[in-house]
Structure 1
Amino acid sequence: MRFIVVDGLDGSGKTTHAKLIRNRYLEKGQKVVLRSHPSDNTKYGEKTKKALLGRGKWNKTKASLYYALDVISSVQTGYGGVETLIFVRYLMGVAYLPLPLAKILYWVLTAFLPTSKYMFFLDLTPEESLHRMEDRDAEEMFENLEDLMKVRRKALSLTKDWNIIDTSGTIEEVQEKINKVLDRLDG
């Protein structure tokens, strides 16, 4: 099974590009599953979303914990017959934690959860991230310049074996970069 991860800051185009990747493999006649976190259909996903709309350290801790449990429960789901599994928001949720803890938790999670050469971190500046989120109805706790700068810095320090894609261009330009990596990996 091809296991693809699409992660990055809010506004980086994770969902958009994950759907384009899904379409790429569907057009080849493959069975594809796309999972996004926090999930809409799990208790952990719902609790994550609720905590993200709150404020304070306790809600940050709850959001991170519930997010991790949501991802772990998604991994444990059976995907028999699926040729391509795409996870949107997977390991970089740890970048919202303080750096020493983020590194430790990332190491622990990658020791037990699946990883692959198909892991993409969609990168953009925190300023552009904020600009892309201007029209959202509800602001989550990390959607401010200071937190986005910290999260991006931590995430980039963790993505050593990832495919880092600059998403500052058009959707078509970014997808072309992703497709080049997929062509090479699928080759």
Structure 2
Amino acid sequence: MFIVLEGIDGTGKSTQSRLLAEWFGQQGREVVTSREPTDGPWGRKLRESASTGRLSAEDELEYFLKDRKQHVDELIQPSLEAGKVVILDRYYFSTMAYQGVRGFDPTEIRRKNETFAPVPDHLFILDLDVDRALDRIGSRGDAANEFERRDALQKCRDIFLSLKDEPFAHVIDSRRDLEEVQEAIRAELA
């Protein structure tokens, strides 16, 4: 099973990914968790750019595609073929949102990705209004980085929510406490 958690920064994707992996593990399932950008060479360059200054829009999109291709080839596809549950914190839907804000066509980004990246079985869009998301980012001790500006986050949120009618998509209200959000995710999987 291939599960992706998406949403703007501050919605709880990392925490919910970890809780979901623990739940599957308790059921005796073999689970692989990962995130994008990855810790590979392209992903590291992208992560560094969040604090040192964003890359050009073209370079950023190219690095995301290269990072994802390597991720699919080396981890995602082999794990799925081995029958494991794969849970990702971000995937190409984030590229659609964040690079869409920079002027690229989200539909074209999706088309390019789906030539090599498998479509998930379940896409969970953790939804939270931008002001609350920014409050959460600040409360965890982080300063908003180059990817976390209010107007850009609102546009990203709108792009994520545009996916709500996909047959594999589930919008989860992440204003609730951690356990309630996790229960809502598990209920959709059940």
Q: TM-score range by the shorter chain?
A: 0.7 to 0.9
Unaligned runs of 5+ in 2: none
1:114 aligns with 2:112: no
| CA offset digits 1:102-146 (Å, max 9, x no partner) | 221113323432113311111111111101100444532121211
Q: Indicate conservation of the 8 Å contact 2:34/2:87, yes or no.
A: yes
Q: Which of residues 97, 100, 115 is equivalent to 2:99?
A: 97
Range with greater deviation from structure 2 (159-168 or 120-129): 159-168
TM-score by length of 2: 0.85
Q: Which of residues 47, 50, 53 is equivalent to 1:52?
A: 50
Residue identity in the other structure for 2:47: K
Residue identity in the other structure for 1:91: Y
Q: Which of residues 123, 126, 137 is equivalent to 1:133?
A: 137
The share of aligned pairs that are identical, in percent, is 29
Task: Tell me what 2:5 maps to.
Answer: 6
The alignment covers a number of residue pairs equal to: 180
| CA offset digits 1:1-22 (Å, max 9, x no partner) | x111111111111111111111
Name the SS of the counterpart of 1:115 in structure 2: coil
What root-mean-square deviation, in Å, do the aligned CA atoms of Structure 1 and Structure 2 show? 2.0
TM-score by length of 1: 0.86
Q: Map of 1:108-187 to 2, 5 A cutoff?
A: 108-134=112-138, 135-161=140-166, 162-183=169-190
Residue identity in the other structure for 1:169: R
Q: Indicate conservation of the 8 Å contact 2:134/2:144, yes or no.
A: no
Unaligned runs of 5+ in 1: none
Q: Indicate conservation of the 8 Å contact 1:49/1:63, yes or no.
A: no
